[in-house]
Amino acid sequence: MVIAGKIRGNAPQLGDYLFTLGNNQHITVLHLDGREDATPEEFKEFLYSVELNSKLTRSKNSAYHAYMNPNPEDTMDRVMTKEEWLESVDILTKQLNYGDQRHGAVLHDLGNGRIHAHIVYERYNHERGTLATYEDNYKAHDRARAEIEKKLKHKPTPQKNKNRDQHKQTLTAIWRRTATAEEFISEAKANGYKIAKGTDRPFRVVDSEGISFDLVRKLDGVKTAELKQRFIDTELPPDKQAILEMQVQKQQGQQEYDKPSQPTEATADNSAKTPAPMASAQDEARQKFLQNVKDVRERNRSLTPEITMSVLIALRVCFSFKENATEQRAALKQQFDADSYAITATPRHKPPDKMLGFIEAAQYYKPT
């Protein structure tokens, strides 16, 4: 099982990703603050409140986003049940020491028996008024992975990939002797690698075993900015698709290896009638994913996240004022009413100059 995670900001953008089908055939809310009947809309509202509290408390990186993906060999014959997923999330929550943090989990089903989970924790603790720490989170992931594998009787995951150093040497050599993204991708493919666009990192590299790595960590002395510069005009497949393709290639290679060296006549006739495996389906899924991304960008282009957050803060602060408020609060409420109407009625790329800042708003509103 693979478990990874990191802190991040812009929780609403994460909500858009979690509930966009892409290559997934099914998306299910596993739980939200212990509720197993929560809807996607309620989960998105939770993420908006996470970001809102972050802005009002002047904190950054409002969420901790974790990812949990079981080994394909462990789920080939039997997929994990809902109860097993809930237990796995509880184990990770305990190891991260996030038991008193608001959190929720979403399951992504690729439709071929492959299911993985995304878990989002709010870092702001409303009782203590502080942010939850994330020190030694990688060790917490390892402890959780080992405990989950033992509970579910999954195959233990090696602590270190035996080919990790070789991957770095090979990919670094390819990077240094190529000058363009196309040359690098081509030579990497010839050496059994596939370059992809990551969901948690800008770029990913998938090896012949179907294992994904952060590309920048496999290139000695190369910075992320250099990767972005070389790949600026290059369209890459998403890492989920690349992993699936490499796993399929591995299975097909094993099947070819297991075939008899001298096929019978019947086998030869049947192979001639067998269509190319999965090629058209993968191309169709990839095109559908790219179209979904394009549609989302078009919908979001008219209103920037900063304007949306300003409107939310304005409305939340307005609604918190009482009828018998002081003159100062009454004046603030009137100004917020006017500003929020101006923003929603005539969208623009940035809030008006007269919009009050987050700090002044926070003086009169405390998140609950």
pLDDT of residue 128: 82
pLDDT of residue 313: 64
What digits encode the pLDDT tens for the residues 125-152?
888 888 888 888 888 999 999 999 999 9
Distance CA 280, CA 238 (A): 17
What digits encode the pLDDT tens for the residues 186-206?
999 989 999 999 887 899 999
pLDDT of residue 282: 66
Low-confidence ranges of the chain (pLDDT < 50): 261, 263-277, 303, 347-356, 358-359, 362-368
pLDDT of residue 219: 92
pLDDT of residue 349: 47
Q: What percent of the chain has pLDDT over 90?
A: 35
pLDDT of residue 248: 85
CATH class of 2-152: alpha beta
Domain layout of the chain by residue ranges: 2-152, 164-260, 305-362
Could you tell me which of 147, 53, 46 has the C-alpha nearest to residue 105? 46
Which residue blocks in the chain are alpha helix, DSSP H? 11-18, 40-56, 82-96, 137-152, 164-177, 181-190, 224-230, 239-258, 265-273, 279-300, 305-320, 327-345, 358-362
pLDDT of residue 42: 93
